[in-house]
Amino acid sequence: MIKVKRAGGTGEGRGGGAERGGAEGGPVRGRVPWAAGGHQARVWGGDRPEWSTVNEPRAKIVIIGGGPGGYEAALVAAQLGSHVTVVDSDGLGGACVLTDCVPSKTLIATSGMMAALDGAPALGIRPDTGAGGAALATVDAPRLYSRVRDLASAQSADVAARLAAEGVEIRRGPGRLAGPHTVAVGDTELDADIVLVATGAKPRELPGAVPDGERLLTCRQLYDLGELPPKLIVVGSGVTGAEFASAYQALGSKVTLVSSRDRVLPQQDADAAMVVQEVFRRRGMTVLSRSRAVSACRTGDGVTVTLEDGRTVRGSHCLLTVGMVPNTGGLGLEAAGIALDRGGFIPVDRVSRTSAANVYAAGDCTGVMMLASVAAMQGRIAMWHALGEAVQPLRLSHVAMTVFTEPEIAMVGVSQQAVGSGEADALVVKLPLATNARAKMQGFRDGFVKLFARRSSGMVLGGVVVAPWASELILGVSLAVEQHLTVDEIAHTFAVYPSLSGSVTEAARQLMQPADDD
Ligand SMILES: Cc1cc2nc3c(=O)[nH]c(=O)nc-3n(C[C@H](O)[C@H](O)[C@H](O)COP(=O)(O)OP(=O)(O)OC[C@H]3O[C@@H](n4cnc5c(N)ncnc54)[C@H](O)[C@@H]3O)c2cc1C
């Protein structure tokens, strides 16, 4: 059956009848008449919609950058019948797939297995002291790194194949804006009705610690090492630093974590960060708090990191994780009328518009929240908005995120800090994992489930889970936040017995308040 639907119509479809592209006033500012509504019929044949060319040509979309911000946008635009070109310089999937999320989480799959083996004796597994000594297992570093690289390239190939199957044109090479409606790739100029800039970010370097790719490393240079660093110094205790420190400690490196702040993960829930820091120390990691690194250099066959107070730390390798800077230089943005902020990021609104009509931006280059899921959502929202679909503007307060340490920290919604400062009027319950029956059986003792609920209505406002696989457990809390569920509704939901997720329903039960008698 063929269904004909008018663009800019009733508000049905994605976004649940929230804000519409035309209503936001976005694309109407440029020369994109299809978004103004009513001009064009969208024809649904099978499950693949197409824009007809009755009144207007297909929208020409050019996307610079093939990471999640770019490729997810391309899929949406292609689904809506646009002619889409993705220009990418380093490989589809972007840094997310090739150097950042996918490789790091693949490495962490192995380190997680090693950490689990650490707890094996307590579960009745004895090391085999026969031929190989007392270790339960050791890491085969070349094999691990080649698995990481193979998986990343396979994932990149999958993204390329998916885009090609959807009819997206792919151009290899650096692209730049030669005007608001033109993207230049080498000598070729591509015409665009809409441009999306999704060029990502790269690791920040310290002036006194320039990476050499051999011993002084950024997080993108780890996978070419032939070996595990025997003594790794990690500079920076944010999410990236903490994840790699945790992973290499479990893989068998001797790790020193240099943190300029009072504790690791200064931006995250303080209770959660303290659990992770305690686990780090218990497992033998040296955590140097209130220790700012000012330089790092090669010395002999190792490295020396110098701290602000003059102390030095020696290791075999140093990993620098001191933030990210946007890839916005040389893109012709200013000439195309796009303002940058002081950090070089592209300011965008909640539907991904930049200061130039018809140019949108998504992902790390906007600095909004450096997560693949946020980049992807910003990219999709940009296309829905530009092409006149119903859109729900980006809601950062509903973003679920995870720190993939051992144990993991996952969180969504309001923070403890917002509750503590009175910004959110919420009741809080925190259940230690050690009280959960399944956790006891599994030998998990570090972690907790914390739930925040609005004092007046019992509506779930957020939560923090610290546990193995917290990244999977947070979904229940995330659903509650997104769907405005109350603690009563969660409390009446069945959880499996025994299960870690049982702690989420138990926390909700503890937050239930007796009804008023009068
Ligand atoms: C170590 C590490 C681990 C991470 N783990 C996670 C995680 O587990 N979960 C999570 O949600 N987030 C994670 N992140 C963050 C995540 O990687 C980023 O938020 C995400 O990659 C942003 O996507 P993007 O599309 O904006 O940019 P990118 O993925 O960086 O892609 C941008 C693409 O644009 C290309 N490009 C740049 N300039 C040009 C140009 N001029 N012309 C053409 N192409 C260009 C680049 O080559 C790249 O391919 C991690 C980050 C790091 C550093």
| Segment 326-362, tens digit of pLDDT | 999 999 999 899 999 999 999 999 999 999 999 999 9
More confident residue, 486 or 49: 486
Top mutation candidate among 370, 408, 412 for ligand 1, by most atoms within 8 Å of CB: 370
Give which of 371, 310, 383 is closest to 72, Cα–Cα.
Answer: 383
Secondary structure (3-state) at 19: coil
Atom of ligand 1 nearest to the CA of 65: 34
Q: Which residues contact 329 (CB under 8 A, 6 or more apart)?
A: 344
Top mutation candidate among 199, 234, 373, 409 for ligand 1, by most atoms within 8 Å of CB: 199
Q: Which residues contact 343 (CB under 8 A, 6 or more apart)?
A: 325, 326, 367
Minimum CA distance residue for ligand 1 atom 17: 96
CA of 518 to the centre of ligand 1 (A): 56
Measured distance CA(263)–CA(270) in Å, rounded: 9
Q: Which of 179-188, 438-447, 488-497, 509-518 has the lowest mean pLDDT?
A: 509-518
Atom of ligand 1 nearest to the CA of 365: 26
CA of 289 to the centre of ligand 1 (A): 29
CA dihedral (343, 348, 354, 358) positive or negative: positive
Cβ of 69 closer than 6 Å to ligand 1, yes or no, is: yes
Q: How many CB atoms lie within 10 A of CB 79?
A: 18
Residue 136 is predicted with a pLDDT of: 73
Cβ of 174 closer than 6 Å to ligand 1, yes or no, is: yes
Q: How many residues belong to the chain?
A: 518
Measured distance CA(259)–CA(274) in Å, rounded: 14
pLDDT tens digits for 369-421? 999 999 999 999 999 999 999 999 999 999 999 999 999 999 999 999 999 99
Phi first, then psi: give them for residue 312, nearest 5 degrees: -125, 150
CA of 347 to the centre of ligand 1 (A): 17
CA of 125 to the centre of ligand 1 (A): 41
Per-residue pLDDT, averaged over 142-153, amounts to 97
Residue 335 is predicted with a pLDDT of: 87
Cβ of 229 closer than 6 Å to ligand 1, yes or no, is: no
CA of 446 to the centre of ligand 1 (A): 31
More confident residue, 133 or 26: 133
Helices H, strands E: what count in the chain? 13, 26
Cβ of 372 closer than 6 Å to ligand 1, yes or no, is: yes
Measured distance CA(431)–CA(500) in Å, rounded: 11
Q: For residues 413 and 477, is the Cβ–Cβ distance under 8 A?
A: yes
Top mutation candidate among 100, 176, 239 for ligand 1, by most atoms within 8 Å of CB: 100
Instruction: Kindly state the greatest CA–CA separation across the chain.
Output: 78
Q: Which residues contact 346 (CB under 8 A, 6 or more apart)?
A: 197, 326, 328, 333, 338, 340, 354, 361, 365, 366, 367
Which amino acid appears at position 362 of this protein?
A: A
Structure tokens at 385: 């908005």
Q: Which residues contact 133 (CB under 8 A, 6 or more apart)?
A: none
Q: For residues 99 and 220, is the Cβ–Cβ distance under 8 A?
A: yes
Atom of ligand 1 nearest to the CA of 379: 25
Q: Which of 132-136, 164-168, 242-246, 432-436 has the lowest mean pLDDT?
A: 132-136
Atom of ligand 1 nearest to the CA of 96: 21
CA of 249 to the centre of ligand 1 (A): 25
Measured distance CA(93)–CA(52) in Å, rounded: 30
Give which of 276, 376, 284, 277 is closest to 74, Cα–Cα.
Answer: 376
Q: For residues 75 and 166, is the Cβ–Cβ distance under 8 A?
A: yes
